[in-house]
Amino acid sequence: MEELFHGLKTKAAGWERKIVFPESMDSRILAAAGRLAKEGALTPVLIGDFEEIGKFARELDISVEEMEIYDPHKYVGMDEMIGALVERRKGKVTESEASELLLDANYFGTMLVYLKKAHGLVSGAAHSTADTVRPALQIIKTKQGVGKVSGIFLMVREEEKYMFADCAINIAPTGRELAEIAVESAKTARMFDIDPRVAVLSFSTKGSAHSEETVKAAEAVQLAKNMHPELVIDGEFQFDAAFVPAVAFKKAPDSEIQGDANIFIFPSLEAGNIGYKIAERLGGFAAVGPILQGLNAPVNDLSRGCSEEDVYRLAIITAVQSMGQT
């Protein structure tokens, strides 16, 4: 794991990324930002009162000299930002409403990303997923051709690396949404030097059972192939058929995936969430994420139970994500 993140940090450092941290008065956030700035991995952008942040940083013995600090209450470009938000929301908010929204650190930080004054945002240590994702969906929005944001986990155990999606956002994705998740997951995997081999999971392997669920999985595979013919993807697969060569040989001998899948697309949020937690708790994998994918610029959501190390890692991932989008 340390080697993986050392490589990602080195990659990000050369691009001089600026990552927004709206929750600057959280000790985990400030400590991680201090490490990132000190190591030169990226420039942390903190949101809040300059005096309060400075005092808190001194208490924690953290230097903010290499960071940028924006106070929404004193920001000289607020009129420009209000106008940009009203225009972006296409009349859904008035200037007065936009002015009020931009006093919220998540909305203000998201607008910094939208206006290209920063490259990405990390929040959620003290806010709900909805508080983090809603401004991103309203302002940054999804990439062309992508209908839904999805959440992927990088699962790491020693030299093994796999990706699990969607484990964070979409409760019951359609076949088209599963196809989009598969395509975006393959793009995310390449960030981590994973050559994507995608398995769409179900309780059936290649027609061994028939239901709406299995048809949806098979449909997702075909749609993904239509979108990106070069993508190695197949299904529907039971997990063992996607992961164990001997089982794949018996159940899906003609498949391009022969027990060597490294990206697993779960049919529902319920299955994905359970799956990654089983791998983490019983399998001894470290789960990094969720990494949000499908947005025009990276915004990532922390767990409120996150550690300083979680913040540090997700910020590096966010910086690397932005390199492919800016």
Give tens-digit pLDDT for 177-236: 999 999 999 999 998 889 999 999 999 999 899 999 999 999 999 999 999 999 999 989
In a domain, 248, yes or no: yes
Instruction: Indicate whether 135 and 43 sit together in one domain.
Output: yes
How high is the pLDDT of residue 71? 97
- Please report which confidence band the pLDDT of residue 325 belongs to, taking 50, 70 and 90 as the band edges: low
Which pLDDT does position 326 carry in this prediction? 46
Name the residue with tokens 């966010």: 318
Q: Is the pLDDT of residue 75 over 90?
A: yes
Report residue 45 as tokens.
């952008």
Does residue 204 lie within any of the structural domains? yes
Do 272 and 166 meet the contact criterion of CB atoms below 8 Å apart? yes
**277-322 pLDDT, tens per residue?**
999 999 999 888 889 999 999 999 988 888 999 999 999 999 999 9
249: pLDDT strictly greater than 50: yes
**Residue 293 lies inside a defined structural domain of this protein:** no
Q: What is the pLDDT of residue 324?
A: 72
Q: Which residue has the tokens 């060569």?
A: 245
Residue 133 predicted with pLDDT over 80: yes
pLDDT, residue 159, reads: 87
Do residue 28 and residue 131 come from a single domain?
yes
Contacts of 32 (CB under 8 A, 6+ apart): 308, 309, 311, 312, 315
The set of residues, in sequence order, having a beta carbon less than 8 Å from that of 326 and lying 6+ positions away, is 116, 119, 297
Residue 292, in any domain of the structure: no
* Residue bearing the bigger pLDDT, 146 or 68: 68
* Gap between the Cα atoms of 181 and 150, Å rounded: 6
> Looking at the domain assignment, is residue 11 inside a domain?
yes
- Pair 304, 265 in one domain: no
Which residues form the domain of 231?
Answer: 150-286
Total domains in the fold of the chain: 2
What is the side-by-side order of every strand in the sheet holding 197-201? 232-237, 197-201, 263-265, 160-165, 150-157, 286-293
Task: Please confirm whether the linkage preceding 135 is cis (ω < 30° from 0).
Answer: no
Q: Is the pLDDT of residue 144 over 90?
A: no
Q: Does the bond joining 184 to the residue before it have cis omega, within 30 degrees of 0?
A: no
Average pLDDT of the residues in 263-282: 96
Looking up residue 33, the CATH number of its domain turns out to be 3.40.50.10950
The reported pLDDT for the residue numbered 10 is 81
Residue 143 reports pLDDT greater than 80 = yes
Ordered DSSP codes for 166-177 = SSSS-SS--HHH
